[in-house]
Structure 1
Amino acid sequence: MKQLIICLTILSALLLFSCTGNKKQETFSVGKNTFLLNNEPFVVKAAEIHYPRIPREYWEHRIQMCKSLGMNTICLYIFWNIHEPEEGKFNFTGNNDVAEFCKLAQKHDMYVIVRPGPYVCAEWEMGGLPWWLLKKEDIGLRVQDPYYMERVRIFMAEVGKQLGNLQLDKGGNILMVQVENEYGAYGTDKPYVAEIRDIVRESGFNSVPLFQCDWNSNFENNALDDLLWTINFGTGANIDEQFKRLKELRPETPLMCSEFWSGWFDHWGAKHETRSAQALVQGMKEMLDKNISFSLYMTHGGTSFGHWAGANFPNFSPTCTSYDYDAPINESGKVTPKYMEVRNLLANYLPEGQTLPAIPDSLPVISIPEIKFEQVAPLFDNLPEPKVSENIRSMEFFDQGWGSILYRTTLSKSDVKQFLRVTEAHDWAQIYIDGERVGVMNRLKGEGVIPIPPVREGAVLDILVEAMGRMNFGKGIYDWKGITEKVEVQNEKGTTELKNWQVYNIPVDYTFAKDKKYAATPAKENTPAYYKATFNLDKTGDTFINMMNWRKGMVYVNGHNLGRFWEIGPQQTLFMPGCWLKKGENEIIIFDLVGPTTATTEGLLQPILDVQRGNGAYKHRKAHENLDLSGETPVHKGSFKPGNGWQKVTFGKAHETRYFCLEALSSHGKDDFAAIAELELLGENGERLSRQHWKVVYADSEEAEEANNIASNVFDLQESTIWHTSYSINKDPFPHQLVIDLGEDKVVTGFEYLPRMEANKPGMIKDYQVYVKMSKFKL
Structure 2
Amino acid sequence: MQDHNQAFTIGDQFYLHDKQFKIISGAIHYYRVVPEYWQDRLEKLKALGCNTVETYVPWNMHEPREGEYHFAGMYDIRAFIQTAGKLGLYVILRPSPYICAEWEFGGLPFWLLRDGDMKLRFSYQPYLDKIDRYYERLFAEFRDMQIADGGPIILMQVENEYGGYANDKAYLHALAELMTKHGANVPLVTSDGPWHDLLDNGSIQEAALPTINCGSNIKEHFARLKRFHGQDRPLMVMEFWIGWFDAWGDGKHHTRDADSAAQELADILEEGSVNIYMFHGGTNFGFTSGANYYEKLAPDTTSYDYDALLTESGDITPKYQAFQQVIARYTELPEVKLSTDIRKKAYGEVEVKEKVSLFSVENRLAQPVESPYPLTMEALNQPFGYVLYKMNLGKNRLIEDFRLIQCTDRAHVYVNGNHLFTKDDLEMEGKETFELTEPENELSILVENMGRVNYSVKMNSQHKGIKGGVIVNGAFQSGWSQYSLSLDNLDKLDFSKPFRSGTPAFYRFELEIEETGDTFLDFTGWGKGVAFVNGFNLGRFWEIGPQTRLYVPAPLLKQGMNEVILFETEGKAGESIAFMDTSGLGN
Question: In 1, distance between residues paired with 2:224 and 2:359?
Answer: 60
1:386 aligns with 2:368: yes
Range 47-56 or range 337-346, more displaced: 337-346
Q: What is the deviation of 1:215? A: 1.4
Cross-structure match for 1:283? 264
Alignment of 1:42-121 (within 5 A): 42-121=21-100
1:259 aligns with 2:239: yes
Cross-structure match for 1:480? 463
Deviations along 1:79-118, one digit per CA (max 9) or x if unpaired, are 1111111111111122211011011101111000000011
Cross-structure match for 1:547? 523
Cross-structure match for 2:15? 36
Work out whether residues 203 and 210 of structure 2, in 8 Å CA contact, stay in contact via their aligned partners in 1. Answer: no
Q: Pick one of 388, 398, 401 that aligns with 1:406.
A: 388
Cross-structure match for 2:292? 312
Are residues 361 and 159 of structure 1, via their aligned partners in 2, closer, same or farther at CA, if it must alter by over 3 Å?
Answer: closer
Question: In 2, distance between residues paired with 1:45 and 1:475?
Answer: 33
Q: Pick one of 180, 189, 194 that aligns with 1:211.
A: 189
**Structural RMSD (CA):** 1.9
1:250 aligns with 2:227: no
TM-score calculated relative to the size of structure 2: 0.94
Q: What is the deviation of 1:441? A: 0.3
Secondary structure of 1:102's aligned partner: helix
Question: In 2, distance between residues paired with 1:530 and 1:417?
Answer: 31
1:578 aligns with 2:554: yes
Alignment of 1:284-299 (within 5 A): 284-290=265-271, 292-299=272-279
Question: In 1, distance between residues paired with 2:404 and 2:585?
Answer: 33
Q: What is the deviation of 1:468? A: 1.2
1:350 aligns with 2:331: yes
Cross-structure match for 1:732? none
Question: In 1, distance between residues paired with 2:223 and 2:75?
Answer: 36
Are residues 86 and 416 of structure 1, via their aligned partners in 2, closer, same or farther at CA, if it must alter by over 3 Å?
Answer: closer
Alignment of 1:123-138 (within 5 A): 123-138=102-117
Q: What is the deviation of 1:433? A: 0.9
- What letter matches 1:471 in structure 2? V
- What letter matches 1:295 in structure 2? N
- What letter matches 1:485 in structure 2? G
Unaligned runs of 5+ in 1: 1-24, 612-779
Question: In 1, distance between residues paired with 2:475 and 2:145?
Answer: 60
Question: In 1, distance between residues paired with 2:429 and 2:254?
Answer: 29
- What letter matches 1:312 in structure 2? N
Question: In 2, distance between residues paired with 1:465 and 1:433?
Answer: 15
Cross-structure match for 2:7? 27
Secondary structure of 1:449's aligned partner: coil
Work out whether residues 555 and 561 of structure 1, in 8 Å CA contact, stay in contact via their aligned partners in 2. Answer: yes
Cross-structure match for 2:344? 365
Are residues 242 and 410 of structure 1, via their aligned partners in 2, closer, same or farther at CA, if it must alter by over 3 Å?
Answer: farther
Deviations along 1:418-448, one digit per CA (max 9) or x if unpaired, are 13210122111100011100000011x5443
- What letter matches 1:147 in structure 2? P
Secondary structure of 1:349's aligned partner: coil
1:430 aligns with 2:408: no
Q: What is the deviation of 1:297? A: 0.6
Deviations along 1:105-164, one digit per CA (max 9) or x if unpaired, are 011110000000111111111111111111222212111222211110011111211111
Cross-structure match for 1:7? none
Question: In 1, distance between residues paired with 2:399 and 2:72?
Answer: 56
Q: What is the deviation of 1:470? A: 0.6
Q: What is the deviation of 1:69? A: 1.0
Work out whether residues 333 and 362 of structure 1, in 8 Å CA contact, stay in contact via their aligned partners in 2. Answer: no
Are residues 228 and 139 of structure 1, via their aligned partners in 2, closer, same or farther at CA, if it must alter by over 3 Å?
Answer: closer
Secondary structure of 1:383's aligned partner: helix
Q: What is the deviation of 1:316? A: 1.9
Deviations along 1:225-248, one digit per CA (max 9) or x if unpaired, are 323433333333243334425435
- What letter matches 1:255 in structure 2? L
Q: What is the deviation of 1:362? A: 6.4
Question: In 1, distance between residues paired with 2:497 and 2:379?
Answer: 36
Work out whether residues 47 and 334 of structure 2, in 8 Å CA contact, stay in contact via their aligned partners in 1. Answer: no
Question: In 2, distance between residues paired with 1:147 and 1:228?
Answer: 24
Deviations along 1:344-383, one digit per CA (max 9) or x if unpaired, are 22122115xx545356676100011211112112110111
Work out whether residues 186 and 475 of structure 1, in 8 Å CA contact, stay in contact via their aligned partners in 2. Answer: yes
Question: In 1, distance between residues paired with 2:228 and 2:163?
Answer: 19
Cross-structure match for 1:691? none
Cross-structure match for 2:448? 466
Range 588-597 or range 367-376, more displaced: 588-597
Unaligned runs of 5+ in 2: none
Work out whether residues 298 and 327 of structure 1, in 8 Å CA contact, stay in contact via their aligned partners in 2. Answer: yes
How many percent of aligned residue pairs carry the same amino acid? 34
Cross-structure match for 2:281? 301
Question: In 2, distance between residues paired with 1:264 and 1:442?
Answer: 25
Are residues 349 and 362 of structure 1, via their aligned partners in 2, closer, same or farther at CA, if it must alter by over 3 Å?
Answer: farther
Work out whether residues 411 and 461 of structure 1, in 8 Å CA contact, stay in contact via their aligned partners in 2. Answer: yes
Q: Pick one of 525, 529, 552 that aligns with 2:501.
A: 525
Alignment of 1:601-750 (within 5 A): 601-609=577-585
Work out whether residues 543 and 603 of structure 1, in 8 Å CA contact, stay in contact via their aligned partners in 2. Answer: yes
Question: In 2, distance between residues paired with 1:242 and 1:486?
Answer: 50
Q: Pick one of 121, 144, 148 that aligns with 1:169.
A: 148
Range 362-371 or range 39-48, more displaced: 362-371
- What letter matches 1:529 in structure 2? A
Secondary structure of 2:555's aligned partner: helix
Cross-structure match for 2:483? 504
Deviations along 1:617-656, one digit per CA (max 9) or x if unpaired, are xxxxxxxxxxxxxxxxxxxxxxxxxxxxxxxxxxxxxxxx
Range 228-237 or range 584-593, more displaced: 228-237
Question: In 1, distance between residues paired with 2:390 and 2:586?
Answer: 37
Q: Pick one of 544, 568, 590 that aligns with 2:566.
A: 590
Q: Pick one of 183, 194, 198 that aligns with 2:162.
A: 183
Range 135-144 or range 326-335, more displaced: 135-144
Work out whether residues 35 and 74 of structure 2, in 8 Å CA contact, stay in contact via their aligned partners in 1. Answer: yes
Cross-structure match for 1:419? 401
Cross-structure match for 2:472? 489
Larger Rg: 1
Are residues 26 and 329 of structure 1, via their aligned partners in 2, closer, same or farther at CA, if it must alter by over 3 Å?
Answer: farther
Work out whether residues 521 and 549 of structure 2, in 8 Å CA contact, stay in contact via their aligned partners in 1. Answer: yes
- What letter matches 1:154 in structure 2? R
